C-alpha cells in the first residue's frame, strides 16, 4: 500500500469519492458528507470524540 499526503482538502475529498484513496484521516463532517454524496460507498472508519463520547 502506498501512502500519500496532500495539503489540499478538496483533493482528499475527491480522492475518496473516486476511489483513488481508501482512507482519509482527520476529515470533518462536511468533508465526509461531500464524499458520501459523490460516492455512496464512502463510510466512516472512526469518529473522534472527547472523554464523554460526545464528538461535538
pTM over 0.75? The answer is: no
Domain boundaries, the chain: 9-38
pLDDT digits (tens, 9 = 90+) for 8-54: 888 888 888 898 888 777 777 888 889 889 999 888 887 777 777 66
- Cβ neighbors of 42 (< 8 A, separation 6 or more) are 16, 17, 32, 35, 36
Alpha carbon separation from 56 to 18, 21, 29, 34, 49 (Å, rounded): 28, 26, 10, 19, 7
The predicted structure's pLDDT at residue 55: 60
The predicted structure's pLDDT at residue 53: 67
Distance (Å, whole) CA 17 – CA 40: 9
Amino acid at each position: 500500500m502506498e501512502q500519500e499526503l496532500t495539503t489540499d482538502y478538496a483533493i482528499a475529498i475527491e480522492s475518496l469519492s473516486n476511489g483513488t484513496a481508501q482512507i482519509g484521516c482527520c476529515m470533518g463532517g462536511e468533508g465526509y458528507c461531500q464524499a458520501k454524496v459523490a460516492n455512496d460507498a464512502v463510510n466512516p472508519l472512526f469518529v473522534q470524540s472527547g472523554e464523554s463520547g460526545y464528538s461535538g
